[in-house]
Amino acid sequence: MTNAFERHGLDHLSASSINLFVAQPAMWAMQKLLGHKSRVGAAAHRGTAVEAGVEMGLFDPNLPLEDCQEAARARFNQLTALSADPNVEKERAGIASAVAIALGELRQYGIPGSADGTRQHRIEVELPGVPVPFIGWLDFWYPDHGIIIDLKTQGRLSSKISDPHARQGAIYHAAHGNNEIRFAYVTPQKIGVYRLEDPRTHIARVVSIARSIERFLSLSDDGAELTAALSPDLDSFYWNDPGSRAAAEEIWGLAPEAMPQA
């Protein structure tokens, strides 16, 4: 007998998936059960771009900073070429500075380890009580130090690791339990590198969320019916993407004029 995940075509979970289920269950259902993908905004592209520049500079420590910054800007330009997000220029303005600050801190760790010619490390871990594995990718792994670092870009520096990030780190820790998990939060002005304390308490929450998803999926084998049982929070930035809002209208029958603008 197949489990509820498999009956809905879900063969794995991820940190982003369980965090989305917690934050926006209607969007989770729309994406995972009905296959509607959402486009992300300029802030997310900024993160991808900064990470590209930082990765380049970490794996080639002699590469001039300007080259890393240019690579990050080029990546951002590529990702936002067709974006209508009004924040594109604002996000672009902070990229070079964030790359410089991140490299200033993280180059002190040395060159990250690589595996099979790829710079990011795939992890797959099974957690007790969850019938499908968790899959993820490590940003920067330093085997010599026993440290895994995940880079997060922000507009304003966090003073602590957020709960969703702690869950992500706990999954990494479950996969590489003898490594310390750190999150490097970088803004255009500063950086804070924080250690994930007591990952086991967060992994219990990960399992709890996964079981909630499983119970939800067990209610019906009809993904459309499950999705329709939820209701989207259209005020949230998660729904800024016009495509997602249009999909919401299709699924939940919301008249456009009745939909609040995010």
Partner 1 sequence: MGFMSVPSSGGDFKVFVAYNAKAGRWYTKNDGKDEPMFEVTDMTAVFDMPNLETGWFKFSSGVAPEKVMDPSLAEAAPNPGTDFKRGFQIDLYSEKNLMGLREFSSTAGIVIEAMNNLYDLWMAAPENVAGKLPVARCSGVLPISNKHGTNYQPTFEIVGWTDRPAALAGNGASPPPAAAPAPAAPQPPAQHMPSPAAGGAKVGAPVF
Q: Which residues bind partner 1 (CB under 8 A)?
A: 100-101, 104-106, 108-110, 142-147, 157-161, 176, 178-180, 182, 189-195
Question: Cβ of residue 117: shortest distance to partner 1, in angstroms?
Answer: 20
Comparing CB distances to partner 1, the nearer of 1 and 156 is 156
Distance of alpha carbon 32 from alpha carbon 206, whole angstroms: 18
CA pseudo-torsion sign 8, 14, 20, 22: positive
User: Rounded to the nearest whole angstrom, what is the least distance from the CB of residue 166 to partner 1 in the complex?
Assistant: 10
Pick between residue 53 and residue 232 the one whose CB is nearest to partner 1.
53
Nearer to partner 1, 193 or 259 (CB): 193
CB of 152 to partner 1, least distance (A): 13
Is the distance from CB of 228 to CB of 253 less than 8 angstroms? no
Cβ proximity to partner 1, 46 vs 182, nearer residue: 182
Backbone angles phi, psi at 52, to 5 degrees: -65, -45
Exposure on the CB side of residue 253, measured as CA atoms within 13 A: 3
CB of 247 to partner 1, least distance (A): 35
Closest CA to 233 of 23, 31, 44, 33: 23
Q: In the bound complex, what is the minimum distance in angstroms from residue 159's beta carbon to partner 1?
A: 4
String of DSSP letters for 85-98: -TTHHHHHHTHHHH
Whichever of 118 and 178 has its CB closer to partner 1, that residue is 178
